[in-house]
Structure 1
Amino acid sequence: MYLLLSIAASTFIFIIFKLLGKYNINTLHAIVVNYFVACLLGIVLYDGKIVLAEIVASYWFYGALVLGFLFISIFNVMALTAQRNGLSVASVASKMSVILPVVFGIYVYDEGVGFQKLLGIFIALIAVYLTSLRAKSSVSLTKGIWLPIILFFGSGTIDTMVKYLETTYVPDNGIPIFSATIFLFAFIIGIGLLAFNRFIKPRLMPTSEITSGEKKQKSDWRVLLGGSALGIVNYMSIYYLLKALDHETLESSTLFTVNNVAIVMISTLLGLLVFKEKISKINWLGISLAIVSIVLVTLA
């Protein structure tokens, strides 16, 4: 049940990002609101006493700081990828990053490795590249694939750190406050980015040099609505993923792969049916290879 809830929440993240771009809502503002809401949820759902000194002294505290920076950075990359490259590209690029925690598990947790698993990792890298290619695009190849590549490695790093911290340092009842701390750091960093864009960026960059996309994005009540919805599903995705990882009957390699391939398939289907995204034969090949690679790694 935890795994199913995490899959559903993660899928809704992609949908909300797509809607933010469709209605020209300021993505960065919505992301900052999202982290504030997610932090509040973690505090409300924590059934223990919150002692600031104990949180700072926790072994996972500095890991949460790093994750907070990665969360807001990769969330921005995820939003840009969904809006510029398509929903399926963003989904595959982020969810194929399951390869990174699998490789990490080989060295840290002494998980088995063989030809089949290595083949799956190799096919995954090819799949991310093929899925990122867009037909009849005016953007050059190098500009077209850098977002999915950053998303791939960033998402993989987040999954790896979350698994390591949850396994090594986070107590059974500490998942809500651990999640809330991550989101709090992401919120603080987001406020810093907003301050930079508001007060410093205009002095460094003339108004004429600001892209038309930035000018068109709006900040109104819809930012609060979209950011709040994003915060709820974002918290649920990480909370239920941590709960699933904490479950003794599921191995992390199996959990991550099932989680990711389900999100890829559902997001791609929604991109086709809801947003009428056009997917070329090359993209379909990439998506097919993505599924094949995850199956290979899982069975290995």
Structure 2
Amino acid sequence: MHFLLLSIICSVFVGVLLKVSRKKELNIYQIISWNYLFALVSLLIFYNPQLNFNFDLPTAIIIVSLIIILPVVFVFQANAIKYSGIVKTDIAQRLSLFIPISFALFITKEVFNLHKIIGLSIAFIAIIFTFYKKQQTEKKQNKSYFLLLTLIGFGVIDILFKKVATISNLKFTELLLIVFCGAFLVSLIISAWQSRNKKEILSTKNLYWGMFVGILNFGNISFYIKAHQSLSSNPSTVFIGMNMGVILLGSLIGILYFKEKLTQLNYIGLLLALISITFIAYSQFN
């Protein structure tokens, strides 16, 4: 269970660092770029994977998709945290499971039991309540669409990583090596474009923050894999523990430390998110 706890902590504190970096007016695009470099370095140190390009076209499509989507969704997540807070962003990220489950139900025609259907229905209501926001007069507050983009983005990533599990000609660490290299290059392009428009220069502060985010990002992935390995006979424990743990810890930090304000409907959405995840996890036992 300690691997699961460490994964939860790493996941939440990525969001914490992104929020604090905004308050310090650091360049979030540069931080995201350095993040992938240090995630790559961490991967090389701890797993030492070999570079392997011996894979077929479907695998290549998955890899290219991850290379592009991962840094883009990171930008969505950072902006969602800025405009809507850690609480709502963590809930949106975890409710992204609504996307792969809907994909399985409507596209691949997977047969669902009653518990999963109930969980899916509650998740849909939770999304509406969580994203609800009173009308604001300030323009910068009217950007809750980043929450929706975050939800959709992580949902697509989840589908892609589920496809990764079916790949037999490439180890997971070998795939991550290619993906981290590619994501670093894509994030550099995004960062260079943004810096040119804003006329900003490279800063060592952004590098340091990117290093911490990258190490935590890698830790989240690594510990999550180890949690699944150590609890291989009960994957539902990892699933429900990760999703609930991130929502609860993220909510506590957002409300108590960052003093984020939620409406009554938002709190109901948070509760419904936890209930939804419970039903979906329980459905795996039946």
Q: TM-score range by the shorter chain?
A: 0.7 to 0.9
Q: Are positions 1:250 and 2:234 aligned together?
A: yes
Give deviations 1:154-179, integer Å, cap 9, x for gaps: 101112221321343376xx333322
1:12-51 alignment, distance < 5 Å = 12-47=13-48, 50=50
Say if 2:182 is the partner of 1:185.
Answer: yes
Give CA-to-partner distance per residue, 1:76-128, whole Å, 9 cap, x none: 00000011011101100111112333445568999761233112112212212
Tell me whether 1:132 sits opposite 2:131 in the alignment.
yes
CA apart distance, 1:5: 2.2
Structure 1 residues 159 and 250: CA distance shift in structure 2, 3 A: farther
Please give the TM-score of this superposition, normalised by the length of structure 1: 0.82
Q: Which residue in the other structure is 2:54 paired with?
A: 57
1:39 and 1:184 in contact (8 A); partners too: yes
Deviations 1:140-193 (A, max 9, x none): 8x954321111111101112221321343376xx33332232211111101122
3-state SS of paired residue (2:180): helix
| One-letter amino acid matched to 1:277 | E
The 1:20/1:161 distance shift into structure 2, 3 A limit, reads same
Q: Where in structure 2 are the equivalents of 1:70-219 lying within 5 Å?
A: 70-104=69-103, 113-135=112-134, 137-138=136-137, 143-169=142-168, 174-199=171-196, 202=197
- Using the TM superposition, give the Cα deviation of residue 26 of structure 1 relative to its aligned residue in structure 2, in angstroms: 0.7
- 1:238 maps to 221
In structure 2, relative to structure 1, the CA distance for the partners of 1:25 and 1:85 (3 Å cut) is: same
Aligned length: 278
1:56 match: secondary structure: coil
Amino acid at match of 2:154: S
| Native 8 Å contact 2:29 2:194 kept in 1 | no
Normalised TM-score (structure 2): 0.86
1:218 to partner: Cα distance? 8.2
Give me the whole-angstrom Cα distance separating, in 1, the residues matched to 2:77 and 2:48.
32
Identify if the C-alpha distance between structure 1 residues 242 and 106 changes in structure 2 by more than 3 Å, giving closer, same or farther: farther
CA 1:95 to 1:57, structure 2 compared with 1: closer, same or farther past 3 Å? same
- Partner amino acid, structure 2, of 1:72: P
1:225 pairs with 208, 218, 233, which one? 208
In structure 2, the CA distance between the partners of 1:266 and 1:176, relative to structure 1 (3 Å rule), is: same
Is residue 104–residue 110 contact of structure 2 (8 Å, CA) maintained in 1?
yes
Looking at structure 2, the residues matched to 66 and 243 of structure 1 have their Cα atoms a distance apart, in angstroms, of 25
Give yes or no for contact 2:12–2:249 (8 Å, CA) kept in 1: yes
2:248 maps to 265
Q: Which runs of 5+ in 1 are unaligned?
A: 203-213
Structure 1 position 282, deviation (Å)? 1.4
Mapped contact 2:80–2:144 kept (Cα < 8 A): no
Amino acid at match of 1:192: I
| Offset from partner CA, 1:258-291 (integer Å, 9 cap, x none) | 3112101100000111111112211111101111
- Provide Cα deviations, 1:33-88, integer angstroms capped at 9, x if missing partner: 0011111111222245x3x4xx1223545422211211101110000001101110
